[in-house]
C-alpha cells in the first residue's frame, strides 16, 4: 500500500493573538514556504492551529523539509503523519501498515482520538479503542499505558481527511520571524552574541548583524569565524545581512590619547554609535547585544548605563540575567558553541587595559572622548563598512 505522508506543524502562543492571529499565521506560512524552496514542491497552508506541509510529487525531500520545519520559530511541535480517507476502514488499514515501523522497540503506547469533524460516526474514545486494537494485533510485545506511554499515537479526523501520527518532536517555539520588526545584532566571535541573536529571533525579530574588526590586529581567520557563526544562526534566523566595520584607527587613537583604564568603555561608545547609525540606515528599530550583567568589566551596571546613554534606540540584552553555563547550553542548542570557542581574537581583545574601569561616571567617559576627533573618526570608520548576506538556503540545503 502506498501511503501519502504530510508534515504537521503545531503552533503555540500564536493561538492567543486574537484579532492579530492571522498576521502571525501568515508570517509562519511564508517562512515555511521560504524554507521549502530547496526541498521540492510543497503545498503549505494553515487550518485549525495546524500548518500542513504536503509534498506535491515524489521528488520532494521529506526528511530535509522535516528537519527544516523543526528550526522555524513559531512552531512548537512537528510530526510526520499518514493521510487517510475519512472512514474507519481506511484508518484501520493505514494504521496497520504505517504504525509498526514507528513503534518498533517501544514497550508502551496509548492512542488519542481527535474528532474535529463531529459528523464522523465514531467518538474520539471509540476511535482510540479501534486503533489501539489494531496496534496490539500488529506490533509484537507492546502494551497499553495511558498514564505514561513511551509514545502517543494520535488519530485526527479533520474536514477533508484523517491523519495518523506517532509521537511529536518539539519545534523551535517562540514567534514567527519578522513578526516583531527588525533589530541589529552586535555580532562578535564569542559565545554570547550569537545566542542573543537567536533568542531575539525566537521572539519574532528579524536579525541584521554588525561585526567590528581591527585588521591587522585581528586576523582574516577571526572574520571567517564570525561569518561561520552567522551561517549557523541562519538555520534558525533564515537570512542575515552581516555588516563589517573596521575599528583599527579608532583603537589606535584611543590608545595614543586616552587613559588606559577607559579604553574599553570609549571603544564601546564608538561601537554603540556606529551600530545605531547602521541600524537606522537598514531600518532596524533596536540594537541587540550578548552582554550578561557583571560578566566582564564593560558589563557592570554603571558601564552599561554609560554605553546605553549614547544611543537613542532600545538595546535588548536577552542574556543579561544568564550565567555562562546557561548561555553555553543555548549555544549548543543553536549549534554555535563549537565555532565560538575557536581561538581567534576579536577587536575587544586589542589594547585591553590592565585595570579597566568598572564603575565609570558618564562625565568621565565624555571627558576622555573629548580628547578625540569623534565625528571624523566615526565617518572614517563608517566608510569602511562592507556587507555580506548569509542565507539558510545556502548553508542548510
What is the reported pLDDT for 351? Answer: 72
Instruction: Give the SS3 label for residue 175.
Output: strand
User: What span, in angstroms and rounded, lies between the C-alpha atoms of 180 and 323?
Assistant: 26
Q: Beta-carbon neighbour count of residue 13 at 10 Å?
A: 12
- Alpha-carbon distance 175 to 185, whole Å? 18
How large is the average pLDDT for residues 102-131?
Answer: 93
Contact assessment for residue 303 and residue 265, using Cβ atoms and an 8 Å cutoff = yes
Give 286-343 as a DSSP string.
EEE----TTSSGGGSHHHHHHHHTT-SS-EE-TTTT--HHHHHHHHHHTT-HHHHTSS
**Residue 297 — pLDDT band, cuts 50, 70, 90?**
confident
List the one residue out of 104, 94, 102, 101 whose CA is nearest residue 3.
Answer: 94
pTM of structure: 0.91
Q: How confident is the model at residue 245 (pLDDT cuts 50, 70, 90)?
A: very high
Mean pLDDT for 383-395 is 82
395: pLDDT confidence band, cut at 50, 70 and 90?
A: very low
C-alpha 243/C-alpha 385 separation (Å) is: 6
pLDDT band at 393 (very low <50, low <70, confident <90, very high): low
pLDDT over 90 at 352, yes or no: no
Locate the domains of the chain by residue range.
5-170, 182-395
Q: Which residue has the cell 495518523?
A: 164
Domain 182-395 CATH class label: alpha beta
What is the distance in angstroms between the CA of the first residue and the CA of the last residue of the chain? 30
Average pLDDT over residues 365-389: 96
Q: What is the pLDDT of residues 207-237, one digit of tens each?
A: 999 999 998 888 888 899 999 999 999 999 9
For residue 165, give Cα distances in angstroms to 83, 123, 126, 265: 9, 18, 17, 55
Q: Based on C-alpha coordinates, what's the Rg of the chain?
A: 26
pLDDT range class, residue 278, cuts 50, 70, 90: very high
Q: Which CATH architecture has domain 5-170?
A: 2-Layer Sandwich (3.30)
Q: pLDDT confidence of 1, banded at 50, 70, 90?
A: low
What is the average per-residue pLDDT within 303-318?
95
Q: Mean of the per-residue pLDDT values for the chain?
A: 93
pLDDT higher than threshold 70 for residue 111 = yes
| Mean pLDDT calculated for residue range 12-22 | 87
Q: What pLDDT, in 10s, does the model give residues 24-45? A: 999 999 999 999 999 999 999 9
Complete DSSP assignment for 14-25: GGG-GGGHHHHH
Tell me how many degrees the CA angle 376-381-387 measures, rounded to the nearest 5.
150
Q: What sign does the dihedral 232-237-240-242 (CA atoms) show?
A: negative
Show Cβ contacts of residue 298 under 8 Å, excluding neighbours closer than 6 positions. Answer: 264, 265, 268, 291, 307, 348, 356
Average pLDDT over residues 41-50: 91
pLDDT for the residue numbered 394: 53
Provide the β-strand partners of residue 151.
Answer: 109
Q: Which residues pair with 78 in a beta bridge?
A: 9, 169
- How is residue 376 written as a grid cell? 571624523
Residue from 16, 1, 5, 9 nearest 35 by CA:
9
User: What pLDDT band is residue 296 in, cutting at 50, 70 and 90?
Assistant: confident
For residue 29, give Cα distances in angstroms to 234, 265, 328, 396.
18, 43, 31, 19
Angle at 137 between CA 136 and CA 143, to 5 degrees: 20
Amino acid at each position: 500500500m502506498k501511503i501519502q505522508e504530510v508534515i504537521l506543524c503545531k503552533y503555540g502562543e500564536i493561538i492567543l493573538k486574537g484579532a492579530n492571529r492571522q498576521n502571525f499565521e501568515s508570517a509562519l506560512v511564508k517562512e515555511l514556504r521560504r524554507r521549502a524552496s530547496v526541498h521540492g514542491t510543497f503545498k503549505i497552508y494553515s487550518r485549525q492551529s495546524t500548518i500542513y506541509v504536503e509534498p506535491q510529487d515524489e521528488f520532494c525531500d521529506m526528511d530535509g523539509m522535516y528537519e527544516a520545519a523543526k528550526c522555524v520559530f513559531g512552531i512548537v511541535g512537528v510530526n510526520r503523519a499518514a493521510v487517510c480517507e475519512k472512514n474507519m476502514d481506511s484508518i484501520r488499514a493505514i494504521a496497520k501498515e504505517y504504525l509498526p515501523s514507528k513503534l518498533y522497540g517501544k514497550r508502551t503506547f496509548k492512542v488519542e482520538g481527535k474528532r474535529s469533524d463531529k459528523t464522523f460516526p465514531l467518538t474520539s474514545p471509540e476511535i482510540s479503542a479501534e486503533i489501539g486494537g489494531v496496534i496490539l494485533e500488529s506490533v509484537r510485545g507492546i502494551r497499553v499505558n495511558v498514564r505514561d506511554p513511551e509514545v502517543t499515537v494520535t488519530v485526527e479526523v479533520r474536514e477533508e481527511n484523517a491523519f495518523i501520527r506517532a509521537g511529536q518532536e518539539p519545534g523551535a517555539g517562540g514567534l514567527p520571524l519578522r513578526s516583531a520588526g527588525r533589530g541589529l545584532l552586535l555580532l562578535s566571535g564569542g559565545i554570547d552574541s550569537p545566542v542573543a541573536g537567536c533568542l531575539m529571533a525566537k521572539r519574532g525579530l528579524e536579525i541584521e548583524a554588525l561585526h567590528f574588526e581591527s585588521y591587522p590586529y585581528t586576523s582574516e581567520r577571526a572574520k571567517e569565524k564570525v561569518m561561520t557563526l552567522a551561517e549557523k544562526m541562519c538555520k534558525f534566523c533564515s537570512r542575515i545581512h552581516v555588516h563589517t566595520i573596521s575599528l583599527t584607527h579608532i583603537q589606535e587613537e584611543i590608545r595614543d590619547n586616552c587613559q588606559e583604564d577607559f579604553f574599553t568603555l570609549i571603544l564601546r561608545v564608538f561601537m554603540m554609535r556606529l551600530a545605531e547609525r547602521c541600524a537606522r540606515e537598514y531600518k532596524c528599530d533596536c540594537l541587540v547585544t550578548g552582554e550578561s550583567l557583571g560578566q566582564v568589566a564593560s558589563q557592570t551596571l554603571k558601564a552599561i548605563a554609560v554605553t546605553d546613554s549614547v544611543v537613542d534606540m532600545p538595546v535588548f540584552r536577552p542574556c543579561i540575567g544568564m550565567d555562562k553555563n546557561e548561555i553555553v547550553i543555548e549555544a549548543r542548542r543553536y549549534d554555535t558553541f563549537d565555532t565560538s570557542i575557536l581561538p581567534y581574537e576579536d577587536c575587544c581583545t586589542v589594547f585591553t587595559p590592565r585595570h579597566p574601569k568598572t564603575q565609570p561616571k558618564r562625565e568621565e567617559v565624555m571627558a576622555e572622548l573629548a580628547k578625540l576627533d569623534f565625528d571624523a573618526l566615526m565617518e572614517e570608520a563608517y566608510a569602511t563598512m562592507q556587507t555580506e548576506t548569509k542565507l539558510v538556503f545556502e548553508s542548510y540545503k
